A and B are shown apart, each in its own frame.
Chain A
Amino acid sequence: MAIFPVLHTSGSGLRTHRIWMDAIADNIANINTVRPFDDDAFQARFIVAQAVRSDNQDPPGVGGGSRAAAVLFGDAEGRIRYEPDHPYANEQGLVRYPDMDLGDQMTQLLMAQRAYQMNLAVVDRARDTYMQAIRINGR
């Protein structure tokens, strides 16, 4: 049982959302990664967030926080484009682009960033609250 439990709960949220932002950064960095037609296209990264079991918390069921449980990969088929001049093009002039939507990725980035900020706000607020509790007996 931690002495300041809220910090650990929001801390886990910070970590989960930072990992999500890492994945989105990966996706955006590879938005134009071209692959030969015979290979798999770059697959978008999806983070699976999971609530952490909190049976040993007080009270049980509260304050477990979250964690990034797994990474799932998107469509390997990608988007096939006709670019006959591309060095990777096959005889029909086809290459594979990743099947990702930049607008969608930016929206996810915004969501992850806002959630990160909210967890930071909780850390801030919890610190103020605990600080006041510490000073209850102060003169």
Chain B
Amino acid sequence: MLDLAMRAIQASLDGLAARQRITAENIANVDTPGYLAGRISFENSLAEAIKDGDPTASGINPWHSLDPTRMNGNNVNVDDENVSLVETGLRFELAVESMNNKFRILRDSIRRDT
């Protein structure tokens, strides 16, 4: 029922949600000794998957930040994480709005009136 674009948006929402979660985790662990900031990449995998025609085949890859650590072995930067929260939130909003548009088109074509 979902077309290629909708499945692509869905995969993108999954990736962004994962990034939002890991950012929250990073902020929660800003003082945890030895904690390395987590990162999520899914864009390249998603682009490949879309090219191959199946966005659901894309993967979400977690990895650790290589930023220099502080004395306690922690490398979380709160300002970077906050900017990431804002940006990921905006991109999530953008994807949700795109999905809404797809559904609007679908609904308009189902309804007789309007």
A interface residues with partner B (beta carbon < 8 Å): 3-4, 7-8, 10-11, 14-15, 18, 123, 127, 130-131, 134-135, 137-139
Contact = CB atoms under 8 A, between A and B. Distances in A.
B87 A4 contact: yes
Chain B binding site: helix, strand, loop or mixed by DSSP? helix
Interface residues of B, number: 17
Interface of B: 77-80, 82-83, 86-87, 89-91, 93-94, 97, 100-101, 104
A7 B83 contact: yes
Contact of A11 (B80, B91, B101, B104): B80
Contacts of B86: 7, 123, 127
A15 B97 contact: no
Given A11-B79, A15-B77, A137-B97, A131 B90 contact: yes
A3 B94 CA distance: 11
B90 A130 contact: yes
A123 B77 CA distance: 16
A10 B97 CA distance: 25
A14 B83 contact: yes
Nearest to A13: B79
Contact of B93 (A7, A10, A123, A134): A134
